Amino acid sequence: MKAIKLPSALFTLNRERLTQRLQPHSVAVFNANDIMPTNADGSLGHLQNADLFYLTGIHQEETMLLLAPDAFDPLHREILFIRQPNEHLAIWEGHKHTKEEATAISGIANVKWLSEFPGIFRQLACEMKTIYLNSNEHQRADVTVETRDNRFVRTCQSQFPLHQYQRLAPLMHELRAVKSQYEVDAIQAACNLTGKGFVRVCKFLKPGVNEAEVEAEFAHEFIRHKGQFAYNPIVASGANNNILHYNHNDRTCKKGDLLLLDVAAGLGNYMSDLTRTIPISGKFTRRQKQVYNAVLRIFRHQVAALVPGKTTRDLRLECEEVTAKECVDLGLLKMSQVKKQKPNDPAVRRYFMHGVSHPLGLDVHDVTYNHLKIAPGWVLTVEPAIYIKEEGFGIRLENTVLVTENSQYDLMGHIPIEADEIEDLMNRR
């Protein structure tokens, strides 16, 4: 991810919000993500730990943050630790932050070299009663590779077995769910870049092009503006519309088929999420438009349903009810099937089998817990769909939406979504 300048006030505000929630006489520790190996002497690019970035704005590997609001020495109340630059690193990896640069980015006055961490942390740990440690607690995470956080937990508990320990993840989940205006602006910038990519693809698409070529059009638009794919792009034509996480992206787009595009940009560490389903030939068939408009009605309903006090589970149940009615009108379900359905196995799941909203921010599936209630400042997706395997196509629509005190603001409201808008855009090729 290429760095996009964000104000240090954002990260200062985030640290203040966190320290207000820490127990008295405590110290909290955050680690950067590891650089992951590939094969031979290869490695992947560095992807920063989202919690650490949220609090510091630092992209660099081997970074650590200490927060100890009650430390005896005022200089120890927030300390950023970074790698010490040297000539070898400069030759092989390029520039590393100076202390002054790290302060300018993060707003943290006390920046130390990483080699100083063990001694300072021991001093703070001996002062404090409680140590807050971090881990990945996303409910669908499959953690099979030991992380830098995991290793630090083990080391810390070995060195300080008699301390009280607390989890940072629940605090970070609550904090990161509510976006400041700085964050909303960053997400809006990613949404705007996504819109540029979508318009480019609509003008490019025609029968005979390969899904990979469509992906390349998005890549060109994103990368030239210092963005990247927010997630593995889904460019799914024809029957591939019905594969939820299809990303082979190597089939020829055929006349008369639909192309489902679940593709969005990340920009400066903040993500967006968009899905559109468009006609490869530039015009929907009568049946395709009938289903498309049904999904669009569900979409409009679900945007209006994003109100404070609900959970994402509430949204899914509401969406299933509305989608079932549309499926009856489309001749896909009979009302008798809906009335006889089991509570935990609704008939509509044959045609709509996933959730309709998830939080979004530094991660595409941003951290949260299912029991947390939506509040003003949350940014969520709205992504209803109807998949008709027996008819060889499916339609999904998705935008990124901000929840406000009394309403919603669609951050992608400027990106064409009406069927007629899509056709007009494509026919201006």
pLDDT(143) > 80: no
Instruction: Looking at the structure, tell me whether residues 135 and 213 fall in a common domain.
Output: no
Residue 411: count of CB within 10 angstroms of its CB:
24
SS3 per residue for 254-315: CCCCEEEEECCEEECCEECCCEEEEECCCCCCHHHHHHHHHHHHHHHHHHHCCCCCCCHHHH
Instruction: Looking at the structure, tell me whether residues 140 and 231 fall in a common domain.
Output: no
Q: What is the mean pLDDT of residues 97-112?
A: 97
Residue 90 CA to residue 84 CA, distance in Å, equals: 11
Instruction: Looking at the structure, tell me whether residues 172 and 214 fall in a common domain.
Output: no
**CA neighbours closer than 13 Å in the CB half-sphere of residue 21:** 17
33-47, 68-82, 233-247, 354-368: the lowest-pLDDT one: 33-47
Residue by residue, DSSP assigns 310-340 as: --HHHHHHHHHHHHHHHHHHTTSS-HHHHHH
Which pLDDT score, from 0 to 100, does residue 68 have?
98
Partner residues linked to 144 by β-bridges: none
List all residues 6 or more positions away from 334 whose beta carbon is below 8 Å from its beta carbon. 328
Which pLDDT score, from 0 to 100, does residue 426 have?
95
Q: Which two tokens stand for residue 254?
A: 């055929």
64-78, 134-148, 279-293, 318-332: the lowest-pLDDT one: 134-148
Which pLDDT score, from 0 to 100, does residue 344 have?
86
Question: Can you give the CATH number for the domain in which 133 is found?
Answer: 3.40.350.10
Query: Which amino acid is present at 326?
Result: E
Q: What single DSSP character describes residue 76? A: G
Which pLDDT score, from 0 to 100, does residue 144 have?
81
pLDDT(239) > 90: yes
End-to-end Cα, the chain, rounded Å: 32
Domain that holds residue 163: 8-176
Instruction: Looking at the structure, tell me whether residues 412 and 297 fall in a common domain.
Output: yes
Q: Which two tokens stand for residue 152?
A: 């630090």
Instruction: Looking at the structure, tell me whether residues 163 and 137 fall in a common domain.
Output: yes
Query: Which amino acid is present at 376?
Result: P
pLDDT(346) > 80: yes
Instruction: Looking at the structure, tell me whether residues 190 and 110 fall in a common domain.
Output: no
Q: Per-residue confidence at 162, pLDDT binned at 50, 70, 90?
A: very high
pTM, rounded to two decimals? 0.95
In a domain, 1, yes or no: no
In a domain, 226, yes or no: yes
Residue 268 CA to residue 60 CA, distance in Å, equals: 14
pLDDT(59) > 80: yes
What percent of the chain has a predicted confidence (pLDDT) above 90? 90
Partner residues linked to 336 by β-bridges: none
Q: Among 150, 176, 202, where does a domain finish?
A: 176
Q: What single DSSP character describes residue 220? A: H
Instruction: Looking at the structure, tell me whether residues 209 and 99 fall in a common domain.
Output: no
Q: Among 147, 176, 205, where does a domain finish?
A: 176
Q: At what angle do helices 169-177 and 8-19 cross, to 10 degrees?
A: 130
In a domain, 3, yes or no: no
5-9, 41-45, 265-269, 370-374: the lowest-pLDDT one: 41-45
Nearest residue to 415 (alpha-carbon basis) of 293, 215, 261: 261
Residue 411 CA to residue 399 CA, distance in Å, equals: 7
Q: Per-residue confidence at 324, pLDDT binned at 50, 70, 90?
A: very high
Nearest residue to 290 (alpha-carbon basis) of 331, 257, 256, 261: 331
Instruction: Looking at the structure, tell me whether residues 397 and 277 fall in a common domain.
Output: yes
Which pLDDT score, from 0 to 100, does residue 37 have?
85
Q: Per-residue confidence at 314, pLDDT binned at 50, 70, 90?
A: very high
Q: What single DSSP character describes residue 412? A: T
Handedness of CA 163, 164, 169, 172 (dihedral sign): negative
Instruction: Looking at the structure, tell me whether residues 169 and 225 fall in a common domain.
Output: no
Q: What is the mean pLDDT of residues 356-363?
A: 97
Q: What is the mean pLDDT of residues 380-400?
A: 98
Instruction: Looking at the structure, tell me whether residues 196 and 149 fall in a common domain.
Output: no
Instruction: Looking at the structure, tell me whether residues 60 and 21 fall in a common domain.
Output: yes
* Per-residue model confidence as pLDDT tens digits over 398-426: 999 999 999 999 999 999 999 999 999 99
Which pLDDT score, from 0 to 100, does residue 401 have?
98
Q: Among 158, 176, 194, where does a domain finish?
A: 176
pLDDT(178) > 80: yes
How many domains, in total, are found in the chain? 2
